[in-house]
Structure 1
Amino acid sequence: MSTARLVPADDDHLSHADFGKIATLIGQEVGIRLPPTKRMMVEGRLRRRLRALDLPSFDAYCDYVFRRGGLDQELVYLINVVTTNKTDFFREAEHFELMQSTLVPNLLRARSGERRPLLKVWSAASSTGAEAYTIAMVLAEMARHQDNFKYAILGTDVSTDVLAQGTRGVYPAEQIAPVPQDMQSRYLMWSRQSGSRAEVRIVPELRRLVRFQRLNLMDSAYPYDRDVDIIFLRNVLIYFDKADQAAVIGRLVSHLRPGGYLLLGHSESMIGTTIPVRQVAPAVFQRL
């Protein structure tokens, strides 16, 4: 067994070989590419894990993970550390406007024979839940004016840390700036604790309609319904290579009902895929 040496934090760095092992592992497990330019970012995020495990250096950490059998216990934490979780309420707002004006009305017309059909919406890279709760607010506003449908929302992510925040539904007050004022009044509760950072919480009525579960998009199958109406998969494919992008999209589309919609990020593309969809708006695709 190697003996780890105590190294001052500022002088301690991941070796190129150990960073390569981490990058390969993350690529295999969750499909995210970590080029050498991300080494300093990974170091910065891993320092907390070193402290939590009481390990003196990156060398000791990698020894624990790769050579002393710690990978099974550490993998979920390592994934949490290296995944990027950029999210905002009403991010790329035109998608939510389209959902309200066109997508949901089209879906309801196609199911006009059903009494109050249940719309299923899936935020497939939900991060801390801002996207899922934005969807919930938009649908709640529609339901206030037309009581002819029900809805349920699923948020999935590979990071257990962000899923825990989504389940709690608590956010820094500054994060909800994009939420329209009338929706803030209806769907957010403000913290009354003095002296602490201002926070808001999603109202219980919406939290009950959104559930969060861990899912690795690289899994070969997803344990969810195959009659989902709308799937959001925005700003995550950019971290995958082309083959993994096509495989993930194919699996997700298989969970859409015929006529259901897949929404990608505006910087993402499905060019070159043979998946049975047609484009109906920028970054919006309908299953044939």
Structure 2
Amino acid sequence: MQAAVSPPRRGRLDQFRDLVHQETGIRLPPSKDVMIASRLRKRLIALEMPSIDHYLSHLFDDDGLYNELPEIIDLLTTNKTDFFREQAHYRLLKERIIPEALARTRAGQATKFRFWSAAASTGAEAWSAAMVLAQAASVDKRLDWRILGTDISTRVLDIARTAIYPVSEFHPIPPELRSTYIMTGKGEDGLRGRIVPELRARVRFAEMNLIETPYRIDHGLDVAFLRNVLIYFEPALQNRVVRAVAAHLRPGGYLVVGHAESMIVRVPGLHAVAPGVYRNEERR
């Protein structure tokens, strides 16, 4: 079936854009109408509907919203991610943040290190951090690390949990880490790689909507990566999310945002130490 992709009636589309903003915090301006129509085309085909107007009527008039909302979120949220994206942040993790954590631990005691990837997408960020932490733990056995990755999209979380990717996606990974932490093999759709079991045992993923505060995760975290998601929020929501994430850091913990988001962070107690990197100086 060939589904129509032309934008629907303005009033009904305004209602849809308000829905997306309410559920995700993402404001879609009218300039995104054609993009919305294009991305929703998959649902028209799946439900055998002739137009987006029919689909929106299904959502708002026929009680279809409950079942369709996860599909809408998956289609309209941006899930751009790469292994070792913005590599300077991983260098700082290796060269400063992990050594600081080890230095504060007495000899012979384990160093409990907790990392949060707050907009995990398909998992590349969390797995990149896992490789850095695993390499550090191979040198200093005291390092007891765990990672939590969260995202609003259940589809990308399924990919993250499976931890299987096309081999081409691993190119940004430093060769010594790639050879140690990636298993490769031939799949039905070409050469694939999977994160090794010893890393998968220390990383978990969970669904989370960042606009729904407070968050039901542990406090006292060493690092929170909140990268390349704030740019989709309006200023008031940006500030609220930054504050909510920072509240889960231990004193001396680090908040890391995308390089393009550095000017967004204006929270007392968070002090810039590098582009996009802030140390929590608050004492609790």
Task: Please tell me the residue identity of whatever aligns with 2:44.
Answer: L
Task: Please tell me the residue identity of whatever aligns with 2:171.
Answer: A
Note the alpha carbon deviations across 1:239-267, whole angstroms, 9 max, x for none.
00100000000000110011100000000
User: Counterpart in 1 of 2:132?
Assistant: 138
Please list, as runs of the form range in 1=range in 2, the aligned pairs for 1:37-76 lying within 5 A after superposition: 37-76=31-70
Question: Could you say what secondary structure the match of 1:192 adopts?
Answer: strand
Please list, as runs of the form range in 1=range in 2, the aligned pairs for 1:102-251 lying within 5 A after superposition: 102-112=96-106, 115-193=109-187, 196-251=189-244
Give the superposed CA RMSD: 1.7
**Displacement of 1:144:** 1.3
Comparing 258-267 with 27-36, which one deviates more in the overlay? 27-36
Distance 2:189 2:68 in 1: 32
Comparing 72-81 with 36-45, which one deviates more in the overlay? 36-45
Q: Does structure 2 retain, via aligned residues, the 8 Å contact 1:26–1:32?
A: yes
Distance 1:120 1:57 in 2: 47
Distance 1:280 1:163 in 2: 31
Gaps in structure 1 of 5+ consecutive residues: 1-6
Give the TM-score normalised by the residue count of structure 2: 0.94
Task: Please tell me the residue identity of whatever aligns with 2:50.
Answer: P
Q: Name which of 57, 70, 73 aligns with 1:79.
A: 73
Q: Does structure 1 retain, via aligned residues, the 8 Å contact 2:123–2:163?
A: yes
Aligned length in residues: 281
Inter-CA distance 272–164: structure 2 relative to 1 (3 Å threshold): closer
Q: Name which of 267, 270, 286 aligns with 2:279.
A: 286
**Displacement of 1:15:** 2.8
Gaps in structure 2 of 5+ consecutive residues: none
User: Counterpart in 2 of 1:9?
Assistant: 3
Whether 2:259 is the aligned partner of 1:255: answer no
Inter-CA distance 8–163: structure 2 relative to 1 (3 Å threshold): closer
Inter-CA distance 271–213: structure 2 relative to 1 (3 Å threshold): closer
Inter-CA distance 278–51: structure 2 relative to 1 (3 Å threshold): same
